[in-house]
Chain A
Amino acid sequence: MQWITKYLGLLIPQRRMGSNCFDEEQLHVLAVDDSVVERKFIEALLKNSSYKVTTAEDGLSALEYLGLTGDPKPTTVKTNDAKVNMIITDYCMPGMTGYELMKKVKESSSFKEVPVIIMSSENVPTRIKKCLDDGAQDFILKPIQQSDVKRLKCHVQKFESPFNEMLCLGR
């Protein structure tokens, strides 16, 4: 049935950016940040954009939630039912950076297609380039704002419906 939906996507008039195409199911974001203040803030920003949110305080907790720790052997049966539509993570975190977390997610069979957004308070062009080159969908400079979160919708929707072309405008 999925191929029919994708075909119909070409015939149905393109939706405007910002409208919620997925009224039946809330989009789920995993937000990772070691700062309790920033975690609370980003959670509220995401919920205000109608996302369902799960937070994690570091890379390891995020991987545990996704079921990506422990067994290095790939399994054919998914052991974890966690379904996320997007991951947004701070770059500077103790133990594992947001970049390292992103790499692990991209190396997994279950979550490699999930868009990963990296945030940082430091504007380091080489860091930003490396993150984007190596798999991050987008990079946001902190402090994050509601407009940044609104902009992310296009990444999630592209992921869900690759035939719905949307222009993502940068900041």
Chain B
Amino acid sequence: MDVSQLQRSWVEFLTALFNEGFLDSQFNQLLQLQDESNPNFVAEVVTDFFHDSERLLNELTGVLDQQIVDFKKVDSHVHQLKGSSASIGVERVKNMCIAFKAFCEESNREGCLRCLHQVKQEYFLVKDKLQTLFMLEQQIVAAGGSPPLM
């Protein structure tokens, strides 16, 4: 595949992520910050997001597994996850966190457990999508081109 075909695939894939609600316009803020002086910015921030999110999801699993749930802790972790997903435009995860927070405020354990399950699903889905996007980007670079900036 030549560079322009790869670039087209990248654009199509990214457009689909926006259309399907995985990403929102905030992700454009990240794309705009990537340039020759900062060529891996998006991948770096998103990788930090992966590490941070998985840490938070593990913590949440642990806290909700306790006999007596510390909802303040749950709220704090969900707040962090909501914040980081919102700042980079990972829309579905952010929206799940909003629902999660509501159950937290009610100290609703069952609701929280359901949300945790859904947040994990959404998170791993978008992680997979973003890793595919980065793989396409790497293919473009390997073919001698660069991803078209939105």
Contacts and interface: CB of A to CB of B under 8 A. Distances in A.
A145 B26 CA distance: 8
A92 B44 contact: no
B29 A145 contact: yes
Given A44-B38, A142-B87, A143-B87, A37 B29 contact: no
- SS class of chain B's interface: helix, strand, loop or mixed? helix
Interface string B25-62: 01001101100001001001100110010000000000
Interface residues of A, number: 18
A11 interface: no
Interface stretch (B75-83, B106-114, B129-137): B75-83
Nearest to B26: A143
Contact of B80 (A35, A44, A48, A146): A35
Interface of A: 34-38, 40-41, 44-45, 48, 92, 94, 121, 142-146
Contacts of B30: 41
A142 B82 CA distance: 11
A121 B81 CA distance: 12
15 contacts: A34-B80, A35-B84, A37-B49, A37-B87, A38-B83, A38-B84, A38-B87, A44-B41, A45-B33, A94-B76, A121-B83, A142-B86, A143-B87, A145-B26, A145-B29
Nearest to B51: A36
B15 to A, nearest CB: 21
A37 B41 contact: no
A35 B87 CA distance: 10
Contacts of B52: 35-37
A154 B23 CA distance: 32
A146 B26 CA distance: 10
Contact of B45 (A37, A48, A145, A146): A37
Of A34, A40, A41, A144, most B-chain CB atoms within 10 Å: A41
Contact of A37 (B32, B33, B84): B84
A121 B26 contact: no
Given A38-B84, A143-B87, A143-B89, 10 more contacts: A36-B52, A40-B48, A41-B29, A41-B87, A44-B33, A94-B76, A142-B83, A142-B87, A143-B29, A144-B87
B149 to A, nearest CB: 13
B140 interface: no
B29 A40 contact: no
Of A34, A35, A45, most B-chain CB atoms within 10 Å: A35
A40 B44 contact: yes
Nearest first, the 8 closest Cβ-Cβ pairs linking A and B are A37-B84, A143-B87, A44-B33, A143-B86, A38-B87, A37-B49, A143-B26, A37-B48
